Structure formats: C-alpha cells, structure tokens
Structure 1
Amino acid sequence: MDLGIKGKKAIVCASSKGLGRGCAAALAEAGCDLVVNGRDAGRLAATAADLRGRYGVIVTEVVGDVALPEVQNALLAACPSPDILVNNNGGPPRRDFHDLDRQAILDGVVKNMVTPIELIQAVIDGMVQRGFGRIVNITSLSVYVPIPGLDVSSGARAGLTSFLAGIARTVAASNVTINNLLPGKLDTDRLRGAFGSEMPQGERIARLSADIPAKRLGTPEEFGQICAFFCSVHAGYLTGQNIPVDGGSYVSAF
C-alpha cells in the first residue's frame, strides 16, 4: 500500500534502536525524510547510515536525551516544520513504589508526559496551518494494565493520554491526528532483560511469550509498520485513539 507520505518530514524521538528505530525505518520505507534521535552517538550514526543506504531518504541525527530542552530545540531546528512527530522515550526503571522519592517521580513525569506535550505544542500549529499532521505517541500497555514496579511510567503515560484526548478533537478538522500506540511485549533490549542474562535466550523468550495469545513476541519492525499507517494519508479519520500492539494480551471486548 502506498501510504501517501513520500517526501513528508518526520521527527522520530528515541529512534536509534528498538521501537523508535522500527518506526523510523517504516517511515523511511514510505519515503519520509527523517530526524532521528538517541543518546548514544555511535548507535545513532549507524542507524542513520543504515536508513539512508536502504531507502535513499534524508536522515538528520540529533544526539541527546529528548527530555532535555536543548535537545528538543535541536530537533526542531533540524526540522522546523515537521509533518509527522513520533513521541518516544524510555520509561523509568522498574522500582518498588516504596522506594520512589519526589525527584524520581518528577523525572518520570517529565520524560513520559511533559516532554511529548512540549514537542506537540511546538509543532501542532504549523501542522494545522498546512492542513496535514500526524502525531503518534508510543506509550505502553501499562496504561490499561498496570505493571507493578512501573508505577511512575504507567501514571505519566496515562496522564499524557488524558491530556491529549481533548486536544486531538480540536485539530481533527484540520487533518491533524493524535493517536497513541500501546506496546505490549515486543522484542526489545528492555524486554529481553526482564529475566536476566543468566537465563538462556530461548528460555527467556519462551517465558515472555507464554501468556501472549499470539504465542510470540512482537517485533520493532511490525510495530513500526503500524505506526507508519497511523501517519499515512489513509488514517485521517482516526484520531484520539489508544491502540494496543500486544498480540492480544489486553483482554477486552470494547
């Protein structure tokens, strides 16, 4: 399917690896020029070179933590008028509720709620004026299904979801959409570390997959293709939605 976004400009946050890279690759395949971002300069450079080589698109690198204002400014300087924004950032590490202090809570809220809101504020008016915009926020299945130890991440991402629910409706008439993708168990470095490196890889994956109806882990590549569809011209009538990408793990008829 031609997604109709060839030549569009996209900012993809935290995209040197994992789900962010999967989204960047799918958008590059669709013909988008990219600004990619990550904290590891070497890994980011390798990702950018790979995407340029495979898809022949323009890929600009911005190194740093997207939660920092100076890194956000660098992203926007590299792409002042993006057509597509994919918000993504790592969540706080697993931590018992009793061990959280005020700063840890605030840091998590900044990373997973405040940062995407700030970036949306910076780009949404331009999207409205141009009559096209696609904003996709990578949140987490924990917005629906709380995961013990990831309370800050769950709370911050749920806050982002509620914050944007009304805003999405105010720009829909301008062909600007805001949607959220909620990853479940996907084959990323973060998930693979869940059972520790002492367990054989095959056994780790089998345990992680056991309670998933699809009986496997999802891949960053297929997650990216879903993201790219949400960014396409075909998805203009779909906004303000939360879409689990979880192999059927979230059980609900509605």
Structure 2
Amino acid sequence: MDLGIRGRKAIVCASSKGLGKGCALALAENGVNLVVNGRDAATLAHTAAEIRDRFGVEIIEIAGDVADPAIQESLLSACPDPDILVNNNAGPPFRDFRELDRAAILKGVTNNMVTPFELIKATVDGMASRGFGRIVNITSLSVYMPIQGLDLSSAARAGLTSFLSGIARGVIDKNVTINNMLPGKLDTDRLRGPHEPGVPEDPEAARQRKERLASDIPAKRLGTLEEFGQICAFLCSVHAGYLTGQNIPVDGGAYVSAF
C-alpha cells in the first residue's frame, strides 16, 4: 500500500533506538524525510546513518533530551514546518510511589505530558494551515492497565491522553489527526533489564526471557519494533485522515475489553 506521504517531513522524538527508531524506520521506508533525536549522540549518529543507507531519505540529527526546551527549539529550527510529529520519551523508572518526591513527580509529568504537549502546541497550527498533519503520541498500555510501581508514568501519560482528546476533535476538519499508540510488551532494550550496552544477549537467555515475558500475552510472543513502526506509519498516512483521538493498544491482545 502506498501511504501517500513520500516527501513529507517528520520530527520523531527519542528515535535513536527502541520504539522511536521503529517509527523512524517505517516512515523513512515510505519516503519521509526525518529529524531524529536521542540523548546519546553516538547511538543517534549510528541510527541516522543506518536509515540514510537503507532508504536514502534526508536525515537531520538533534542530540539531547527532548524535554529540554533548548532541544525542542533545535528540533523545530531543523524542521519548522513538519507534516508529522511522533512524540516519544522514556518513562520514569520503576519505583514505589512512597519514594516519589515533588522533584521526581514534576520530572515525570514534564517528560511524559508537558513535553509532547509543548511540541504539539508549536506545530499543530502550521499543520492546520497547510491542510495536512499527523501527530502520534507513544504512550503506554499502562494508561489502560496501570502497573504498580509505574504509577507516575501511567498518570502522566493518561493526563496527556485526556488533555489531547478535545484538541484532536478541534483540528480534524483541517486534516490534522492526533492519535496515541499504547505499547504493551515489545522486544526493546527496556525489557532486557540492566545490561552492558553493545553486549549481545546470550541466545538461550534471550529465548527464556522472551518466553517468560510472553507467557501472559495471548499472542504468546513479544511484539517487534518493525510491527510497531508500521502501525505508526499507517496512522501518519493519507489513509488515516478519518481516525483521530484514538488509543491504539499494540499489545498482542493483552488488554481485554469488548469495547
């Protein structure tokens, strides 16, 4: 299927690895020129080179924490008129709520609610004036299925979801959509737990880990970054213009609901 977005421009936050990288790869495969971002400059440069080599699209690298206003300014300077915005950022670490102080709470809310809203606010009117815009926010399945110990992450992402619900309905008449992807258990570094960067996982240990993590998933496997990215690319396509304000679980059937 031709997604109809070849030549479009996208900002993909936190895209040097993991879910953000999966989205960047899928968009590049469909001919989208990218501004990519990540905290580690070396990892980001490696990802940017990989995408350029594979798909031949234009790539601009902006290294740094997307929650930093200066980095946001750099992203927007590199791409002042994006057609596509993919919001993504790491969530707060696993922590008992009793250990959360004000600083930790404010940081979690800033990273996972305030930052994506700031970028949306900076780009959505331009999208509307040009008659095309696709905004995808990578949140978490914990919006629907809270995970004890990730309470701050759940709250911040749920807050963003509610914040944007009305906004999404206010811009769809200008062909601008805002949707959320809710990843469940996908095969990312985060699910590997602490490990030495760049050190391959023992194949048998990896098999056992994935089998254990997938035991309660109806699909009986972890999702892949490629699958996630392709769903993101579809949400950014010309074919998804009648779909907005939705939460899309990408979870192998883990979230159980008939409606």
Q: Is the pair's TM-score, using the shorter chain for normalization, greater than 0.5?
A: yes
Query: What is the CA distance between 1:194 and its match in structure 2?
Result: 8.0
Alignment-derived partner of residue 233 in structure 1: 238
Matched residue of 1:178: which SS?
strand
1:220 equivalenced with 2:225 (yes/no): yes
> Which residue number corresponds to residue 60 of structure 1?
60
**Count of aligned residue pairs for this structure pair:** 254
Question: Is structure 2 residue 51 aligned with structure 1 residue 51?
Answer: yes
Looking at structure 1, the residues matched to 55 and 205 of structure 2 have their Cα atoms a distance apart, in angstroms, of: 35
Distance 1:210 1:51 in 2: 33
1:200 is paired with a residue whose SS is: helix
Q: CA deviation at 1:191?
A: 1.3
Letter in 2 for 1:149: G
Map 1:123-202 to 2 at 5 A. Answer: 123-193=123-193, 200-202=205-207
Which amino acid in structure 2 is aligned with residue 27 of structure 1?
L
Residue number in structure 1 paired with 2:252: 247
User: How many angstroms does 1:193 deviate by?
Assistant: 1.1
| 1:87-102 alignment, distance < 5 Å | 87-102=87-102
What is the CA–CA distance in structure 1 between the aligned matches of 2:194 and 2:240, rounded to whole Å? Answer: 34
Listed as ranges, the gaps of 5+ residues in structure 2 are 196-200
- 1:69 is aligned to 69
Match of 1:164, as an amino acid?
L
| TM-score, length of structure 2 as denominator length | 0.96
How far 1:6 sits from its partner (Å)? 0.1
Q: Which residue of 2 aligns with 1:203?
A: 208
Give me the whole-angstrom Cα distance separating, in 1, the residues matched to 2:25 and 2:46: 13
Structure 1 length as normaliser, TM-score? 0.98
> Identity of counterpart residues, as a percentage?
74
Distance in 1 (CA, whole Å) between partners of 2:162 and 2:213 is 29
The whole-number CA distance in structure 2 between the counterparts of 1:36 and 1:11 is 6
Structure 1 residue runs without a partner (length 5+): none
Describe the superposition over 1:190-236 as per-residue Cα deviations: whole angstroms up to 9, x where unpaired: 112189x9992221111100000000000111100000000000000
Cα-Cα RMSD: 1.5
Structure 1 pair 147–75 and aligned structure 2 pair: CA distance change class (3 A): same
CA distance in 1, matches of 2:15, 2:71: 14
